[in-house]
Each structure stands twice: as structure tokens, then as C-alpha cells.
Structure 1
């Protein structure tokens, strides 16, 4: 078998096993794609080869590589690029796929001015492919021009890259740094950011498809920024300029279709690819017959084919308004605590999560911890959970930002960094190894820790980065945690403490804390 160094310089007509490389298609930071020929039994056929760029890929990279093969191989859909095999090679894999002669739509539009008729033909094909994917209960989660291939002659369209696709009917995205999110930030749906208080389902693909249509029709993306957090905020809260206002040649009805696709709430988008396809085919038929597209009522045949329970909050508008108003005040410099009371399962957490959107706008941090009924002897347990969550968020930021946080934290805790590291181990990845702290005993050690934790908290509460800390099951809080809450309220700025508790299990000691109840 002929072998060459996969991670080294690749030359045309080089061999990788039984595959001869013909043409470089894509060279990125993570993956490499080549056209090639497989030669077996005196027969040859064209293929596309894709492999990971790193010599030692991470476990997550390998998992995503296997995922795109495992999902795509079982799909009997003409509109996807079929995988032939997934082969091991040294420390990685090579994915072997069909080569139907397509190039990425992203590259195709750079050298070809698409007419409105061509855009509609592409859009209709994509709606059909999504209809078949969603019928097979697959959510692609990364629809964009780079993942759409078009044949230059036949104009046939196919979708590629199922590396983050899901077979689950619904997923929940945790809050992460924008640079670590799954998908492509310019095309990502609001719920994929983890800051929408909504799960991810098949309607997420409609949003990304809408952004793709928007770009094809106008030649630009609806939201453009070099700041990842700004892009997240745009997807969450900023209305996109309407298509026909950017390009007056675009018919009003197409602008309405795109607007519906990129609605912030999944409930306001198309509920089926069939309904979308019907509207697009109507537009296409009119354009082919009359050369124009008359107005008509869209989404008339848009009927959801599955049972979905809306995640929209009902009857909690006043409580959400109070939370958002409190965040606006702490962003200006105050500190507040709000208690959210109610029985278990009543929806306290769902209400609290509504504060995510303004946090993104203010570049703030949202962290959460939960007290445990059976660990009440462990002081500050929820605070420790919350700060471990925060360290995870900080570690996904740039090296320059991490260095700034390191300097601020060391300035606050001095030579006692190891005291905090002992309870928040992730902090060591930011501060590095710290000298052992002076040993204290009894009350002195407790007082030192209380003071350090207070100073540590203040590092993350500033006008540039207000902090929201959600402490759940506050009825199980230990005395030390309650004391720290009082201290933080009295002596910290730009901090919003939100405590959720079950008022049927509450201790009368709660009356000692001066807070505002949201609802009971």
C-alpha cells in the first residue's frame, strides 16, 4: 500500500493508500478536502476525501468525524453527498465520499451572478432536501453556503457536513463562549447560542437556511461584526434589515418568506419544510410564467407534522419584566437580590433564564449553582459550583483575555491564590501553579476564606462585565452562604443575585434578608 504523511505537505497525484489525490478542494484550520480517484480491481472512480488537519486530533474532533459518517450513511436522500466509507489512518480518519462534480455555493456565487430564477431553483431544492432530512428526524445544525454544493452545469444542489447533526428531537445548548459554539456564528440560530431559553429542534435549520437565502438575495449577511458576542446579540435581539429594502429588485413576497424563516422565536418560523417548499414553488412558477411574483398569503400549507409543546412563557410577563429591570439597574452600578419563589417544577428556572438576552448585550456573565439538601454541611457549595461554571467560560476566551483575568484575580487575592484553587480547581488553569498559602486554623482560616471569596467575586463584577449569579434551591443554603450573600449585597457593585427557593419548605430565617420577591 502506498502511504504518505497525511499531515505534511500534500502534492497532486500523491497516494493515500489506494486513493490518488487529484485536486485540492478545501484547506482549513481543522479539515482538508481533496478530490481523488480510487483504483481497485483495474477499475477507477472519482471520490472526495476529507480528513482532519491535526496530527493528533482531539477526542471531540474524532467524535464529530464519526458522527457525520454514521448519520449520513443511513440516509437514502438524493440531496446529500453520500459517504462511501470511514477509514482509519494513523491517528485519525479519512472520510471517503461520492464526487458528483459539485463546488461549494460559497465559491460558486463569487464567480457567478445568480439570477432571481436561479436563486429560487436553488432554494426550492434546499427546501426539498430539508423536508427529507426532517422526515428522517435529522437536524443538520450547520446550514450555510459552504456546506451546500452545486453542480456548475446541472445546477443540482446537495448538502454536506453532518459533523454536528443530531438525531435527537430536541437538544438543550448550555451557555458557552461564542467561539466554542457548535455551528457557524454568522448563520447560527438564536436557540443554538444557549442564551435563548429555548431548546434546539428541526426549526433551527430554517433560521440558518433563511440567513443563507438572505445572503443569496442581497449579497450580504444580515448581521456583520468582528465581535462574536455582538453577533450573538444580533441573532437574539436585533431585527434584520428587510431584504427588499436592501435590494429593491427583490419581490416583497420573497422578503416576507425570508423574514419568516429568520424569526427569533422558532414558533414564528415555518413549521414544516413542506410549507416552505410550497411557497417557494409558487414563487418559482409565477416567475417562470409571468416574469414577476404577485403577492399571496404565505404559509397557507405550512402544517407541522409532529407534536410540539411550545417553550414560550405564558403569564409571566410581569415577573420577567422585573428581572430585566433589575439587570438594567445593576448594569448601571447597583447590586440587587431577587428571590423567585414557588413549588418544585412550577417554572422558576425558566423565568430566570429569560435574563440571558440582556446579559449578552451588556457583555455580562451568567453563572449558576445549586444547593443540595444532603450536603448542607459543605459551606458555599452553590457558590463553588457557580464559579467553576464561570472558570469554564473564561477558559474559552482568547489568551489575551485570560491573561487579563489572571492579572485581575492575582491583584485581588494576592499570595492566597491557592486557597481559592483548593475549592475551584479550574482556577489553576488560569493562574498557573500558586505557592502554598500560610496555614491557619479554626476561625482564622474561615475568616480568610470568606474575605478571599468576597474579593474574588468582585473581580467579575464591573461595568464592562456585570455578573448575574443564580443560586437554586436556596432553602437548603448553609449559614456561611447566607452570610456571604448579605456581605455581597452590601459591598459589591454590578451584581445581580437571583435566588430560587421552594416557599413551602422555607425557613423563617429568610425574613432577615432584604430582598424583593418576584412571584409566590
Structure 2
């Protein structure tokens, strides 16, 4: 119609931010390295083309990168409203490209972590405080200060990616843990295409910054483990119940110690079952004990016909016709002995409590025998209800 207009290409695809949401899981322990390699190489090549054209984007974000629907098509950068033109003789051109390269590093971080790299204006860095925040940012330009701290990036990447690729990201964001600084997108692209950048080799240390300990070993607890084993042997020799109290502050490895001991005891023929008391579970008396023994009976059902038959015979012989009282309390017991033929007699509350105490003791004596020892582990006793303690 004779009026001025601006025509822009229509770019098909989704933003990189959407692509990350569909392809990256924060809880995932493994990554599709081939897919990640292709996407970061494609993005870097696109930035290289922009810089070769004499333009600096100045606003690279995951929202401003379009991933095409077809695998072999190049990515597209959008939102050039903040872009600037480079002149070959302009001494500031490197600084301008540097902003784009820093942003590229944080884009890579977001691809791996699935989280935004932008700082929240109302909060400080997790690795900073009012007195030393400026020290962390010292030597970094304004673009870098818009993003989360380098330690936060490092902690999110370590253990997830091969060392060479992680080093590229840390160099791009100009972290102090590496002295390398990229001058151009071409240098980044060359390193991404190196044969070792995404190599996972089980014979070499693939990850940095982590101490790897064997999960089959218990470190520094040999005396405690020996004490538990000694109590186990005393139970055999004395043929009497034994109690072990494992105490200590939270996080000192009490549960790990018991887990390791249970694995040793299981190899020696012990049955191990456990329950965990909860601060908010005291309204359901005896529930932790019930869960523990339901777990025991489920284990029996997975132990073969001979064990099931022996356990059933021992329970019925020891408890007799009153076994229905216990099946009402421990539903998994029905899987072992079947549905009781007779219902338990109706009695008053005091009598009912006394009967349950007596029958519970009989049940323990029936299933915990010298040939089939039973270990019951109760965690967080400080939250135990009065009913459970009385048993």
C-alpha cells in the first residue's frame, strides 16, 4: 500500500529454554552426551556466524535461541534489539565479544542444570555476604555479574559432565579456577569439536572436585562394627535377646553403620527388618513396629517354600487359634499363614491389651530362633510413642 514496513523471517522451532525444559531433568544422574554435544556445537557455530558478520548480540539467553524442528538445521538467534556493530579497528570489540562468550557459558550451564543462571535481584549469591560479595565479583564485567556465582555453577556441573567440557564452561564464564580465557567463538567451537571433550572413559578420572569412596566400605567405624558383631555372637552363645543402643548427633553415620552391619549379618543367616519413628507419627501408636514386622513377613515370602513352611508351622504351633489377633495387626502375616479359620474372641480393652502383649511375645519367640535369628532396627527412638516403647 505504499507504506514503509519491516519484514522479518519466520523461524520455526522452539526456544532453547523450552528445549531444556523438555530434555533436561534436574534429578537425572546421566545425560545424553551426544544430544548435548550437538546442541552446544550448533549454538556456538551460530554465534560464530554472528561475530563473523561484525555483529555482537549483547543479549544472549536461552529465550533468544531457536532450536529448529529438523535435526540438521542450524539454530537461530533472535532478539537483536541490543545488538551492536563491530568495526575492525575498534579496540572495544573484544570486550563486546567477551560479553557474548560469557553469556554462552551460562547458556551451557542452563542446558546441563536445567536451571536459570540469572541472579534474582532481591537475593544475594549463596556464596557471598555483604562484606565480601565485591571480592567475588572483582575482575568480572557487568555481564558476568548478572548471573549466579562461579561456585554455584561449579557445584551444579561437577560430577555430571566430563572434565574437558566443564573446563570450557568455566573458562567461558571466566571463573578463577582456570586461567584460560576465550578470545573468539571460533576458539570455543574448536575445543567443542576436540575428540576428548565429551569422552567418557571408565579408566580415567572423568569428574573433578569429588572424592569417590566405595559404597561397600565403611571408613573409621571398625570399632563400632566390631561391637555390633560381638553382641550378635553373644546372642548366639547365650541364646537370649540382646539390645544395642546406637547414639550420636544427626549426620554422624549411625544409619550407615547399621546398614553395613545388616549386610554382614544377612550373610550369616540373620533376618533383618527395620522401622523409623517419625515426629508427626506419634498419633498412630505402634505403627512403626507394625511396618517393621510387615516388612519381615514380606521378606519371608521371598525366601523360598522351605522358609515359608517352617515359619508358618512355628507360628501356628506357638500361637494357636488366637493368631487372628495378630493378623488384624500385621496384615502381611496373612501371606505367610493364610486367613485364620476362627475370629478372635471379643474382650474388653484391658484384656485386649494384655492379650496383644502376650501374643506379640509368642510371635517373636516363634520367628526369632537360633537357626533363624531376627534383628530389629528401630531408628529415631526419640520420636517413639509410649505404646511402642512399652513393647
Please state which structure has a larger fraction of its residues in helix.
2
With the shorter chain as reference, the TM-score category is 0.3 to 0.5
Higher relative contact order (CA 8 A, sep 6+): 2
Say which one has the larger Rg: 2
TM-score (norm 2): 0.45
Please state which structure has a larger fraction of its residues in strand.
1
TM-score (norm 1): 0.34
